[in-house]
């Protein structure tokens, strides 16, 4: 039988004590909090050599935490053949250009028809098992209604190598992620950085909110306006914004642009207050926005070091047809 793989991490000595599952979610972002809670309850986690079975136990600053990951388990989701836009594939990984509307992995209410189901059909048993039975090979995610580039690990070695790069967020390695967003109005200044703490909203658990420093997970987004749209001599109605991530938090770009008071077109969660602005758009743009049915966000660039060869892999994806139609109908580019 294959022996477990052991991960080790030493918690920051200067940080205040926090729940063990939260501390490990920050240390190992490739593992979901629910997955870590299950591993803790199953006896796979020890702190300073002593087993800990309670995910809510406080983790002391500076403690050494060991996780004995069980051998990869067979994936429970069923294979479902569906067309995939495969940008690159080799023995270690596969890069997909995900369409909007496709959920990445099974979850409550989405047991079938996900990217994982399609990958199991395409790759068979060659997906990494580190992410757990419901998320084989999944290193990072895109929201259901965000389109664009996604890399999936086919081996455990590739999963660990890619996860390390995503945890580092490109600070010391080649990882780079850039998104194209169509936002209401024009952020000022037109090039800048948004740095806030983010946490789940107490008022609406489906939303992420900007919170006071120290109350959430730090998130950094760099942005630059590429184009503005609207008649000459008038205030621009919308803009095409390029966003790069220095961290990878849930809904990060959507929340940060809304925090600047320039939410994404089509974002019903963070831009509901801007629906009346649609009446100012040209008729064709109003129709394209109504038909969009999602936030105007696309993962356009993905770069990383190949976990096997070390080669820097760089992939780019143009705006998909629905966003390109909206962009073209918004009016003159300024």
Q: What are the residue numbers of the active site?
A: 143
Residue with tokens 């600070």: 171
Would you give the distance in Å from CA 232 to the centre of its chain?
Answer: 36
Would you give the distance in Å from CA 222 to the centre of its chain?
Answer: 15
What distances in angstroms separate CA 185 from CA 58, 206, 229, 236, one per listed residue?
44, 25, 9, 6
The number of beta carbons lying within 10 Å of the beta carbon of residue 222 is 16
- 97/87 Cα distance (integer angstroms): 7
- 252/263 Cα distance (integer angstroms): 12
Rounded-to-10 torsion of CA 17, 21, 22, 24: 90
The number of beta carbons lying within 10 Å of the beta carbon of residue 8 is 9
């Amino acid at each position: 039988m294959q022996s477990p793989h052991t991960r080790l991490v030493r918690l920051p000595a200067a940080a205040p004590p926090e729940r063990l599952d939260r501390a490990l979610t920050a240390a190992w972002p490739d593992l979901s909090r629910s997955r870590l809670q299950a591993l803790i309850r199953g006896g796979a986690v020890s702190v300073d050599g002593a087993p800990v079975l309670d995910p809510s136990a406080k983790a002391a600053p500076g403690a050494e935490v060991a996780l004995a990951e069980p051998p990869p388990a067979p994936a429970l989701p069923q294979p479902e053949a569906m067309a995939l836009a495969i940008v690159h594939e080799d023995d270690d990984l596969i890069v997909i250009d995900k369409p909007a509307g496709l959920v990445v992995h099974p979850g409550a209410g989405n047991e079938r028809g996900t990217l994982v189901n399609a990958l199991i059909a395409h790759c068979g048993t060659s997906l990494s098992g580190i992410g757990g039975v419901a998320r084989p090979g999944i290193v990072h995610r895109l929201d259901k209604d965000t389109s664009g580039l996604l890399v999936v690990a086919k081996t455990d070695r590739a999963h660990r190598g890619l996860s390390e790069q995503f945890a580092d967020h490109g600070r010391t390695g080649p990882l780079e992620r850039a998104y194209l967003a169509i936002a209401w109005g024009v952020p000022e200044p037109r090039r800048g950085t948004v740095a806030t703490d983010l946490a789940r909203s107490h008022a609406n658990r489906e939303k992420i909110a900007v919170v006071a420093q120290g109350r959430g997970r730090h998130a950094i987004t760099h942005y630059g306006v590429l184009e503005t749209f609207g008649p000459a001599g008038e205030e621009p109605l919308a803009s095409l914004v390029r966003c790069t991530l220095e961290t990878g938090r849930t809904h990060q770009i959507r929340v940060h642009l809304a925090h600047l008071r320039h939410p994404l077109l089509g974002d019903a969660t963070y831009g509901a207050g801007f629906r009346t602005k649609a009446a100012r758009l040209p008729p064709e743009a109003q129709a394209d926005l109504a038909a969009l049915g999602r936030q105007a966000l696309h993962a356009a660039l993905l770069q990383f070091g190949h976990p096997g060869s070390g080669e820097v892999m760089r992939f780019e994806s143009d705006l998909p047809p629905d966003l390109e139609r909206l962009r073209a109908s918004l009016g003159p580019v300024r």
